[in-house]
Amino acid sequence: MAKIMHIHIPDGLLPIWLWLSGYLITIIFLLAVLPRIRKEIKKIPLAGMVTAVALLIMSVPLGLPIHLNLMVLIGILVGAHWSLIVALALNFILASFGHGGLTVIGLNTLVLWFQAIAGIFLFKSFIKIFKNYFASASLAAFISLAVSFLFFIGIIIVASTEPAEFLHSHEQIGHTEISLKTLLTLSLPIALFGILTESLVTGFIVQFIKKVKPDLIV
């Protein structure tokens, strides 16, 4: 099953080459950022705190098959390098509790990290244009999550997996086959609601942090 740009499917559904590629690419990026991480040790407490908060948020559904990720917010707070560590830690812990299979940890890490680094880049670009933290953070989150959703759809296409497997309600509806078009029709309104919700939440939180603790914003 899937919940807004986060793959929640059991092991054995994705082709081996795909999930192994996810792990390999994640490891390559991890090795690349580790030297920078060592120079940013002072961010350990903040990274631990946002990981705990995100873990709690991602475990709480919003009444629909969606939850918030807050990865754009996390990227804005801890930066591109630490956000990879946070994304990996989140996915490993969630998978350990059955929140998606172990084989999709690599792909999920890349999906969440993309949201963070895209959000950082867009936020910094928009803040120069709008001079408004709420608008800049909200718009950055919206675009990052929307592109991430397209990436999620791309995974379904590349995996050549039955689209119904990615539906949150697949356990209840059985093994009914559906087309990719049907999946998009079912998931797009829910995805849009989740993206809008997370974008607004991200904007409000960034605006609040700017007022009370502006040095936390990268």
Q: Residue 94 is encoded by which pair of tokens? A: 């969630």
Tell me what the mean pLDDT of segment 203-216 comes to.
Answer: 96
Percent of the chain with pLDDT over 70: 84
Domain ranges of the chain: 16-216
How does pLDDT run across 189-199, given as a tens digit for each residue? 888 888 999 99
Q: What is the pLDDT of residue 97?
A: 81
Q: Give dist(CA 75, CA 79) in Å, integer.
A: 5
Q: What is the pLDDT of residues 146-186, one digit of tens each?
A: 998 888 778 777 776 655 555 544 444 445 566 667 767 77
Instruction: Calculate what percentage of the chain has a pLDDT beyond 90.
Output: 59
pLDDT value of position 105? 93
Phi and psi torsions of 7, nearest 5°: -80, 120
Q: Which residues are registered as beta bridge partners of 7?
A: 2
d(C-alpha 144, C-alpha 135), whole Å: 14
For 89-123, how does the pLDDT look when each residue is reduced to its tens digit (9 = 90+)? 999 998 888 777 889 999 999 999 999 999 999 99
The pair phi, psi for residue 61, each rounded to 5°, is -70, 160
Question: Could you tell me the two tokens for 47?
Answer: 């990274």
Average pLDDT, the chain: 85
Q: Residue 7 in 3-state DSSP? A: strand
On whether the 16-216 domain is CATH 1.10.1760.20, my answer is yes
The β-bridge partners of 2 are 7
Q: Which amino acid is at 176?
A: T
